[in-house]
Structure 1
Amino acid sequence: MDVLINVVVALHIIGIASLLGGFLTQMKAMGAGTARFVPAMLHGALTMLVTGIALVGLNQADDQAVNNVKIGVKLLILVAVLALVYVKRDDEKVDKAAFAAVGGLTVANIFIATVWT
């Protein structure tokens, strides 16, 4: 079971890397007001959602303690990111506030995952 959990964790990290990487590649365009949500951002967020749900289930099946409040906060943040990216995915330009919100919420999610014990 540990190997399966570690594989899913690796896929979860790939998802966050895709979401954050997509954001970082558009930072210069955000300054110019021409930033857009690239497909990697949507795919990364969806990967995070699926693997995150799988991780909770696998950890509970393995009788490991799961902090449901932490998972709930992370899920709410991820749903907000997914909503913003999904709704604005076809726009040629995304306003700076929405784009910055996605980046800020993504970084907040990373810190919640690593710092909240």
Structure 2
Amino acid sequence: MDVLINVFVGLHIVGIAALLGGFFSQMKAMGTGAARFTPGMLHGALTMLVTGVALVGLNQADDQTLNNIKIGVKLALLIVILGLVYVKRDEERVEKSAFGAVGALTVANVFIAVLWV
């Protein structure tokens, strides 16, 4: 079970990397107002969602204790991220505030995962 959990943790990190990588690659364009959500950002967020749900299920099946409040907060942030990226995915230019919110919420999600014990 530990190997399977670690595989999903790795895939979860790949999803975070795709989302943050897309954000960081568009930061210069964000300064000029020409940033857009890339397909990789949407796929990264969806990967985070699917692997996160799988991790919760696998950890519960392994009788590990889970912090349901932490998981709920992370899920709420991810739903907001997914909503913004999905709704604005076809727009040629995305507002700086929406684009910055996705980056900030993603970083907040990472810090919640790491620092909230």
TM-score between the two structures when normalised by the length of structure 2: 1.00
**Which residue of structure 2 aligns with residue 73 of structure 1?**
73
Aligned equivalent of 2:96: 96
Q: Kindly, what percent of the aligned residue pairs are identical?
A: 74
C-alpha separation between the residues in 2 aligned to 1:89 and 1:15? 17
Match of 1:50 in 2: 50
Displacement, 1:104?
0.3
- Total equivalences in the alignment: 117
- Partners of 1:100 and 1:66 lie apart in 2 by 30
Task: Report runs of 4+ in structure 1 exceeding 3 Å deviation.
Answer: none
In structure 2, the residue matched to 1:36 is 36
Quote the offset at 1:19 in angstroms.
0.3
Report the RMSD for the aligned CA atoms in angstroms: 0.2
Shift of 1:89: 0.0
CA distances 1:5-50 after superposition (whole Å, capped 9, x unpaired)? 0000000000000000000000000001000000010000000000
Gap regions ≥5 residues in structure 2? none
- Partners of 2:65 and 2:21 lie apart in 1 by 31
Deviation, structure 1 residue 52: 0.1
Equivalent position of 1:106 in the other structure: 106
TM alignment of 1:15-26, pairs within 5 A:
15-26=15-26
CA distance in 1, matches of 2:8, 2:100: 28
